[in-house]
Structure 1
Amino acid sequence: MNKMIYGLFFGDSITYGEYDGVFGGWVDILKRYALQKYNEGNTNELILFNLGIGGETTEGLVNRIPHEMKARNSADGNIIFIGYGANDLAKKDGNQLVNPEQFKTNIEIAVQNAKQYSKDIYLVSILPLSENIDSKVSPTGKVRTNEDVLIYNQILKTIATENSLNYIDFHSVFLQDKEILLSKDGVHPNEKGYGMMAEIAIPIIEKYL
């Protein structure tokens, strides 16, 4: 029996695929891959929704995940990806947009919402920052540090362990070659970086094809 499974990718501009004018980001690469596999005769149809919004923090996620999940709920099953933190940890005027405690609470609320629709939930790590922008004020007045990236990623790992969720560790893969995998702004991947993310994620979605 053919199944129609939905994959929902919640996140910020890195989920959306900003700064990738070639492939449209890692989620769009996965969308094309899933469609190709279906056209080649795979049993299940996996429909992927890119629900990334540039600049969004977990505050936005908490507000919209109940509505988004209800609107896109497949009777055959859902896979949910949650990728946040790069905006939450940014400091503006000395204050983080979403502090670590609130970040933890927000992710936990989102996970509880997601669990109503799926057992297949993946938390996505925050990427490392380029040394060029680490601790420096950006043109938008925000400051991000690699130290904070580690703190917020640890929160994600802990939540994944406590809730028996999957954790996708893009951070470790990027770390050594981050200067060639990140775009000029030092936060978003470039085409090569997004391609690497898709390569890591393809075996995950293949399980549902």
Structure 2
Amino acid sequence: MKKIVYGLFFGDSITYGEYDGVFGGWVDILKRYALQKFHEGNGDELILFNLGIGGESTEGLLKRLPHDLSARNSQDGNLVFLGYGANDLAIKDGAHIVNPETFKNNIKAAIQQVKPFSNDIYLVSILPVSQKIDGVVVGSGKLRTNEEVVVYNKILKDLAAEYALVYIDFHTAFLKDKEFLLSADGVHPNEKGYGMMAEIAIPIIEKYL
């Protein structure tokens, strides 16, 4: 009998796919891929939920996580992706939205909440920002630096190692060509960037199809 597995993608606007008017972002590309595979009659059904919310930090995640997990819980198993940090590390009014220590504790708390629902937890790296906004206060009043991106990514990488989770390193993939893969705002990927993220993530979801 075929299984029905759920994939839950928690995150901010980069998970949601903001600024991609062509594909709808990397998670939506994965949704279509999984659906296509199912209709081809290959293996189990993998239903993916895009739970990205623009502007969300790990503080918002912890508030909604228990509700979202209980609302979308497949008896056959769940995969959970956590894509946070781009908002947490932003400096607004002279302070981080979520400082590194709190970010670390929030991700730890999220992992503990997810564990009863899933053995398959993925931590998604933060993308680099464009050179033109590195250290610049943008219209939203937020300031981001690539230096901080590295600091927060190290927290995610270390936690992935500590809890034996998979760390999806989009950061390294973007680094060399970030100016071509990011949209005009310097934070969100463009269609090419989102497409590349999906290509990296397809082998991960293939295991469950």
Q: TM-score range by the shorter chain?
A: over 0.9
How many pairs does the alignment contain?
Answer: 209
Distance in structure 2 (CA, Å) of the matches to 1:162 and 1:205: 23
One-letter amino acid of the counterpart of residue 55, structure 2: G
One-letter amino acid of the counterpart of residue 116, structure 1: P
Shift of 1:42: 1.3
Alignment of 1:1-209 (within 5 A): 1-209=1-209
Distance in structure 1 (CA, Å) of the matches to 2:92 and 2:10: 24
Any idea what the Cα deviations from partners look like across 1:84-119, whole Å, max 9, x if unmatched?
A: 000000001110000000000000000001101000
Any idea what the Cα deviations from partners look like across 1:153-173, whole Å, max 9, x if unmatched?
A: 000001100000000000000
Distance in structure 2 (CA, Å) of the matches to 1:63 and 1:84: 14
Distance in structure 1 (CA, Å) of the matches to 2:199 and 2:86: 21
- Alignment TM-score, normalising by the size of structure 1: 1.00
Distance in structure 2 (CA, Å) of the matches to 1:146 and 1:127: 9
Distance in structure 2 (CA, Å) of the matches to 1:188 and 1:43: 34
Q: Which consecutive aligned stretches of 4+ in structure 1 deviate over 4 angstroms post-superposition? A: none
Distance in structure 2 (CA, Å) of the matches to 1:195 and 1:43: 24
Distance in structure 2 (CA, Å) of the matches to 1:126 and 1:43: 32
One-letter amino acid of the counterpart of residue 197, structure 2: M
Tell me, which stretches of 5 or more residues in structure 1 are unaligned? none
Shift of 1:43: 2.0
One-letter amino acid of the counterpart of residue 89, structure 1: L
One-letter amino acid of the counterpart of residue 91, structure 2: K
- Alignment TM-score, normalising by the size of structure 2: 1.00
Percent identity over paired residues: 73
